[in-house]
Structure 1
Amino acid sequence: MKYDWVLFDADETLFRFDAFKGMQLMFERMGVEYTREDFEQYQKVNKPLWVDYQNGTISADDIKHIRFKSYAEQFNTTTLDMNSAFLDAMADICSMVPYARELLEALKGKAKLGIITNGFIELQDVRLAKMGLSDMFDHVIISEEVGIAKPDAGIFAHAMDKMGQPCKSRVLMVGDNLHSDVLGGVNFGIDTCWLNEASHPVSDNIEPSYNVTCLSQLQSILLS
Structure 2
Amino acid sequence: MPTVILVHGILMNGWEMTLLGKRLEAAGYLTRRFSYPSVHRSLADNTNLLHQFLDEIDDTEIHFVAHSLGGLLVRNLINTYPHDVQGRVVTLGTPHQGSQVARIMRRSWIVSRLLGKGLASLLTNIPLSQRFSEFNSPEIGSIAGNKPLGMGMLLASMAKPHDGAVQLTETKFDQMTDYRVVATNHMGLLFSRSVAAEVIQFLRTGYFLPETA
TM over 0.5: no
TM range (shorter): 0.3 to 0.5
Larger radius of gyration: 1
In the superposition, the TM-score normalised over structure 2's length comes to: 0.35
Larger helix share, 1 or 2: 1
In the superposition, the TM-score normalised over structure 1's length comes to: 0.34
